[in-house]
């Protein structure tokens, strides 16, 4: 007599059995799937949104360059406001890796829409003398018109920073504004300057005009010097800048790297990302507990089915596998749905905020793996209970 | 003499707690027999069924199914033995909700590891055979009690087992339908299926060719007519 063959369950049939359990309990399964989906969607969307905005920021940094440095007078040793010596600009220009230098000087005057406006209502707008090369040095662009040039800088021409133009209510070049006690013609309006935010709130005039009308015969004092260095030698230049600008009192010189602020913003998003990732994980945990709960109830309710299957030749492993598969399918569906939802939310966010979309592959893949892992953990205990149930108890317990 | 389909020798079953449900059962069932196991409530019939059908192991003694010693087999192999050699019919039918009659019958072949197309084909044949060829796609909820038990019987025979055990197969049916179901079992037996029917119903037992009487875990009578 040949020995009896062992029981076998085809993998395809195992999948079918897992799906069957869900098909006959749709509402409950759907709720658990939804729980997992919300958790995964939160994770994917958080990663998608923060990575997209971070990559936007980094792209912007890339195009702006991280080799811009600025030098400004800080507090003097005595405690008063320091000034930069007249030698600062030419000395800085002599540092070898420095490629471009441009200085600005804040003028003690105001800009107004007309001469009827009170002189004290400055609207927070600073009038600043600039050199023609400044726009390129700070990677700025004009929204309309031109920047200060050697030609127009000698006359009553003004270029408005983006905030200044908005506050004055000026959208077109050719308009006239009142600076000090003189009419100037707006020749240009700037886009926002991410690396030189002060200048957004400024009305910019040429040094020759500034000297003639507001400097009482002298060139006005330097307020800030912007410079571009070789990208590889930013730190070396930074280290010698203060002493170069003011050899007598280097500690009174403020040196900064404007791109650091943008980088800090990209890094700050990391903290927020961690917070939302945490929240997503909590949602996922709740979803996982939901799946485990549904599976424990399923095992209790389906004792007779378990007994029947054992009578029909199922091994303990077949029974355990069936319930584990059910849990994995539920979690897997939740994961898929969550990934789709999460990508959808990221795309919608990008469309609304006008940023680019960057969803790193680890987000959807990690989401799916996490969901399936949760399904395995949530299904393990119920599956073991189902497998350990004695067939005679299962069949008797009617 | 040919191999007995089922043979029990000195089988005892003591439940944890000390209840001695079977106290030394010797029983031999040959191919083609239709045996009733009859006895009052609590006499040990269901326990005997569980041990004979290898769902439970005896505390002592041996159980041979189709010449194979069940006590020597691992759980894995016992499962294989049940899937190939043994069919079950239960009082409560135990059909799976949400799948059709033919799929329920095909479940009887699920653990043979054969593809679903072949299972369905053989299940369709088996349902035809029990007179339910017109109910293939009905779910259990849409079947009458008698129809449900016929589906369960088809599921028990679809794998051509060496022996079919039926525990109170008419217990949940009214007497007319119960008689029909017994008629079906008798027909299947005439066609070659070895069958063992557990019942507490004396009249039903008396209508079968062999009657084994159980009382207090012992066989107290074994008559053939
Ligand atoms: N799991 C168990 N643990 C302990 N004792 C049990 C268990 N199952 C059955 N028994 C006891 O074993 C004896 C035989 O029970 P069994 O169910 O086999 O009887 P039965 O003949 O099938 O009765 P019925 O006709 O009422 O179904 C009874 O005394 C019962 O209480
Ligand atoms: Mg019983």
Radius of gyration from C-alpha coordinates of chain B = 17
CB contact under 8 A, B56 and A395: no
Asked if A10 has any chain B CB less than 8 Å from its own CB, the reply is yes
Q: Convert the pLDDT of each residue in A216-235 to its tens digit.
A: 667 788 889 999 998 888 88
Q: Which residue has the higher pLDDT, B101 or A45?
A: B101
Asked if B81 has any chain A CB less than 8 Å from its own CB, the reply is yes
Under 8 Å between Cβ of B29 and B222: no
Ligand 1 probe mutation, B11, B15, B205, most atoms within 8 A of CB: B15
Query: Does B63 fall in a domain?
Result: no
For residue B50, give the ligand 1 atom closest to its CA. 18
How many domains is chain B partitioned into structurally? Answer: 1
Q: Convert the pLDDT of each residue in A325-360 to its tens digit.
A: 999 999 999 999 999 999 999 999 888 887 788 888
Test mutation, B111, B113, B117, B171, chain A, max A CBs within 10 A:
B111
Of the candidates B170, B162, B191, the one whose C-alpha atom is nearest the C-alpha of residue B52 is B162
Enclosing H/E stretch for A29: helix A26-64
A196-210, A212-226, B8-22, B40-54: least confident range: A212-226
Helix A26-64 with A316-353: angle, nearest 10 deg: 40
Radius of gyration from C-alpha coordinates of chain A = 35
Question: Does position A2 have pLDDT exceeding 70, yes or no?
Answer: no
Question: Does position B165 have pLDDT exceeding 60, yes or no?
Answer: yes
Strand partners, B167: B198
Query: So what's the pLDDT on residue A195?
Result: 86
Strand partners, A186: A158
Asked if A23 has any chain B CB less than 8 Å from its own CB, the reply is yes
Q: Residue B207, CB half-sphere, CA atoms under 13 Å: how many?
A: 11
Q: Convert the pLDDT of each residue in A239-278 to its tens digit.
A: 888 888 888 888 888 888 888 877 777 666 667 777 778 8
Measured from the Cβ of residue A250, the count of other Cβ atoms closer than 10 Å reads: 14
SS3 A189: strand
CA A312 to chain B, closest CA, distance in angstroms equals: 5
Q: Is A118 exposed, middle or buried (0-12, 13-18, 19+ CB in 10 A)?
A: exposed
Query: So what's the pLDDT on residue B174?
Result: 93
Of the candidates A273, A297, A126, A295, the one whose C-alpha atom is nearest the C-alpha of residue A199 is A126
Query: Does B25 fall in a domain?
Result: no
CA separation for the pair A133, A114 (Å, rounded): 29
In order, the DSSP letters of A273-306 are HHHHHHHHHHHHHHHHHHHHHHHHHHHHHTHHHH
Query: Does B51 fall in a domain?
Result: yes
B66 φ, ψ (degrees, to nearest 5): 55, 35
Question: Does position A398 have pLDDT exceeding 60, yes or no?
Answer: no
Measure the CA angle with vertex A289, ends A285 and A292; round to 5°. 140
Query: Does B175 fall in a domain?
Result: yes
Query: Does B64 fall in a domain?
Result: no
What is the bridge-based pairing of β-strands A142-145 and B20-29? unpaired
CB contact under 8 A, B55 and A24: no
Which tokens in the block code for residue A363? Answer: 């987000």
Under 8 Å between Cβ of B87 and B161: yes
CA separation for the pair B178, A185 (Å, rounded): 108
CB contact under 8 A, B111 and A9: yes
Model confidence at A63, pLDDT cuts 50, 70, 90, reads confident
A201 φ, ψ (degrees, to nearest 5): -100, 20
Q: Say what the ipTM of the complex is.
A: 0.96
Q: Which of A51-60, A138-147, A217-226 has the highest mean pLDDT?
A: A138-147
CA separation for the pair A25, A327 (Å, rounded): 13
Query: So what's the pLDDT on residue A269?
Result: 66
Query: So what's the pLDDT on residue A365?
Result: 93
Query: Does B6 fall in a domain?
Result: no
Task: Kindly state the average pLDDT of the residues B119-133.
Answer: 96
Domain that holds residue B116: 34-57+75-224
What is the bridge-based pairing of β-strands A182-190 and A142-145? antiparallel
Query: Does B145 fall in a domain?
Result: yes
Give me the CATH number covering residue B107.
3.40.50.300
pTM of full prediction above 0.90: no
Of the candidates A200, A204, A191, A201, the one whose C-alpha atom is nearest the C-alpha of residue A141 is A191
| Per-residue three-class SS string for A300-349 | HHCHHHHHHHHHCCCCHHHHHHHHHHHHHHHHHHHHHHHHHHHHHHHHHH
Question: Does position A151 have pLDDT exceeding 70, yes or no?
Answer: yes
CA A384 to chain B, closest CA, distance in angstroms equals: 16
Q: In what order do the strands lie in the sheet with B20-29?
A: B20-29, B6-14, B60-65, B68-69
Angstrom distances, CA of residue B46 to CA of B39, B40, B66, B151: 10, 11, 21, 22
Ligand 1 probe mutation, A394, A396, A397, most atoms within 8 A of CB: A396
Q: Is A61 exposed, middle or buried (0-12, 13-18, 19+ CB in 10 A)?
A: middle
What are the boundaries of each domain within chain A? 11-61+263-397, 67-256
CA separation for the pair A348, A355 (Å, rounded): 10
């Amino acid at each position: 007599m040949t020995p009896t063959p062992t029981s076998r369950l085809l993998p395809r049939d195992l999948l079918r059995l897992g799906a069957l359990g869900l098909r006959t309990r749709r509402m409950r399964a759907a709720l658990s799937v939804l729980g997992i989906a919300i958790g995964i969607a939160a994770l994917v969307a958080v990663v998608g949104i923060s990575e997209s905005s971070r990559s936007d920021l980094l792209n912007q940094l890339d195009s702006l360059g991280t080799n811009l440095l600025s030098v400004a007078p800080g507090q003097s040793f005595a405690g008063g406001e320091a000034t930069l010596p007249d030698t600062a600009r030419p000395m800085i220009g002599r540092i070898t890796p420095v490629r471009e230098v441009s200085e600005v000087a804040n003028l003690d005057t105001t800009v107004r829409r007309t001469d009827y406006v009170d002189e004290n209502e400055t609207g927070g707008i600073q009038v600043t003398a600039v050199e023609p090369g400044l726009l390129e040095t700070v990677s700025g662009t004009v929204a309309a018109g031109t920047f200060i040039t050697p030609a127009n800088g000698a006359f009553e021409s003004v270029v408005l920073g983006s905030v200044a133009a908005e506050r004055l209510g000026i959208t077109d070049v050719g308009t006239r504004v009142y600076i000090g006690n003189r009419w100037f013609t707006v020749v240009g309006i700037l886009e926002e300057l991410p690396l030189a935010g002060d200048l957004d709130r400024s009305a910019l005039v040429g040094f020759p005009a500034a000297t003639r009308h507001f400097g009482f015969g002298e060139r006005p004092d330097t307020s800030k010097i912007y410079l571009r260095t070789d990208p590889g030698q930013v730190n070396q230049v930074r280290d010698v800048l203060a002493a170069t600008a003011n050899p007598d009192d280097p500690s009174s010189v403020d040196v900064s790297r404007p791109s650091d602020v943008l980088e800090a913003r990209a890094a700050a998003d990391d903290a927020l990302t961690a917070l939302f990732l945490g929240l997503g994980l909590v949602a996922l945990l709740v979803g996982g507990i939901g799946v485990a709960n549904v599976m424990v109830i399923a095992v209790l309710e389906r004792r007779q089915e378990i007994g029947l299957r054992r009578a029909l030749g199922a091994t303990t492993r077949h029974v355990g596998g069936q319930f584990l598969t059910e849990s994995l399918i539920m979690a897997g569906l939740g994961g898929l749905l969550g990934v789709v939802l999460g990508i959808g939310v990221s795309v919608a966010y990008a469309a609304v905020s006008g940023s680019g979309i960057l969803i790193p592959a680890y987000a959807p893949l990690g989401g799916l793996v996490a969901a399936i892992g949760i399904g395995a953990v949530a299904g393990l205990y119920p599956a073991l209970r189902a497998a350990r149930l004695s067939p005679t108890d299962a069949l008797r317990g009617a | 003499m040919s191999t007995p389909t089922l043979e029990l020798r000195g089988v005892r079953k003591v439940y944890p707690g000390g209840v001695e449900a079977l106290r030394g059962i010797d029983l031999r069932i040959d191919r083609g027999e239709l045996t009733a196991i009859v006895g009052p409530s609590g006499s040990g019939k269901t326990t005997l069924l569980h041990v004979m059908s290898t769902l439970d192991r005896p505390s002592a003694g041996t159980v041979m199914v189709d010449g194979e010693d069940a006590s020597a087999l691992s759980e894995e192999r016992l499962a294989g033995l049940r899937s190939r050699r043994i069919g079950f019919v239960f009082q409560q039918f135990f059909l799976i909700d949400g799948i059709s009659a033919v799929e329920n019958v095909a479940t009887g072949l699920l653990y043979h590891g054969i593809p679903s197309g072949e299972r369905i084909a053989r299940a369709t044949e088996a349902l035809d055979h029990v007179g339910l060829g017109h109910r293939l796609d009905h779910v259990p909820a849409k079947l009458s009690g008698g129809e449900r038990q016929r589906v369960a019987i088809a599921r028990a025979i679809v794998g051509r087992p060496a022996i079919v055990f039926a525990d109170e197969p008419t217990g949940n049916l009214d007497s007319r339908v119960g008689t029909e179901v017994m008629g079906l079992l008798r027909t299947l037996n005439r066609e070659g299926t070895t069958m063992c029917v557990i019942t507490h119903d004396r009249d039903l037992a008396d209508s079968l060719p062999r009657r084994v009487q159980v009382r207090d875990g012992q066989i107290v009578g074994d008559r053939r007519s």
